[in-house]
Amino acid sequence: MNDALIRYFPRVDYTPCWQAMRTLTDGRTVDTADELWVLEHPPVFTLGQAGKPEHVLNAGEIPVVNSDRGGQVTYHGPGQTVIYLMLDIKRLGLGSRGLVSAIEQGIIDFLDSHGIDAANRDDAPGVYVNGAKIASLGLRIRRGASYHGLAINRDMDLSPWQRINPCGHVGQPMTTLSEQGVVLDRQTMEQQLVTLLAKRLGLMPRTAPAPDWYNDISEFPPAQHSPAP
C-alpha cells in the first residue's frame, strides 16, 4: 500500500484551497506523497468546466466560482464534509473510471456500515439513497494525478440546493446523513469515511498537520484529530 497524508481542516475558503490543490499537483514528482484534505467550505456554488450558468437559478448572496473540476454546478457549505484527493493515479494503477468507482464504493461502504442502502449511477456520478443524492463527485486529472474530489452531506441546510440544478439535473432531490438517521460527530464520521476510502484506493492513511498555505490564510486553529487507524 502507498502512504497517504490525511490533513484535517475545520473550515477553509474555496478559492485558496483550490489554488493550493493546483500548486501541489503542478509541483508533483514521482516521489510526492498522496494527500487527502478533509474540510468544510463556507457557502459557495462552484461551476465545473462544463458548467452552464443557467443551472444557477438564483445564487442570491452565495458566491459563484468557476472551477476547473469536471461536472456542472454544485454547492458547498456548513454541515457538509469535502474530501479533496491529490493522488498519483498512475502509481495507484487506476484510470479515471477506476478512480471514480473506488471513491463511490468507499462512500457506499461507509453508508452500508451505518445500515444505509446506497448506490451509484452510470449516468450521473455520485452516491444516491432512494434516488436522493447524498454525495457528489467532481475531479480533475492532470499529468497522471488527480485533484478536487467528493462532498458528502452530513447535517447541512439543503435549501441552497434549490437555487441550482444540482450537477445539471433539474429537480434532483438531495439528502443528508442526519435525514437517513445517522448522527455522528464530525470527527468520527470523517475518520470512518477516510478509512474506508483509503482501503478502496489502496492507501495507508497517516494523519498530518495543516500545511503552510493554510496556516498563512486561516483564522482558525488546526483541527484536532487522532491518527487514522
Provide the CATH number for the domain around residue 65: 3.30.930.10
Flag whether 224 is in a domain: no
Flag whether 11 is in a domain: yes
Flag whether 206 is in a domain: yes
Flag whether 223 is in a domain: no
Residues that constitute the known binding site: 69-76, 136-138, 149-151
Name the residue range of residue 202's domain: 2-217
Flag whether 229 is in a domain: no
Flag whether 222 is in a domain: no
Residues that constitute the known binding site for substrate: 69-76, 136-138, 149-151
What's the confidence (pLDDT) of residue 21? Answer: 96
Enzyme catalytic residues: 167
What's the confidence (pLDDT) of residue 219? Answer: 47
pLDDT tens, position by position, for the chain (229 residues)?
899 999 999 999 999 999 999 999 999 999 999 999 999 999 999 999 888 899 999 999 999 999 999 989 999 999 999 999 999 999 999 999 999 999 999 999 999 999 999 999 988 899 999 999 999 999 999 989 999 999 999 999 999 999 999 988 888 999 999 999 999 999 999 999 999 999 999 999 999 999 988 987 654 433 333 333 3
Residue 29 CB neighbours (<10 A) = 6
Flag whether 28 is in a domain: yes
- Residue 71, φ and ψ in degrees, nearest 5: 95, -175
What's the confidence (pLDDT) of residue 122? Answer: 87
Domain count along the chain? 1
What's the confidence (pLDDT) of residue 158? Answer: 98
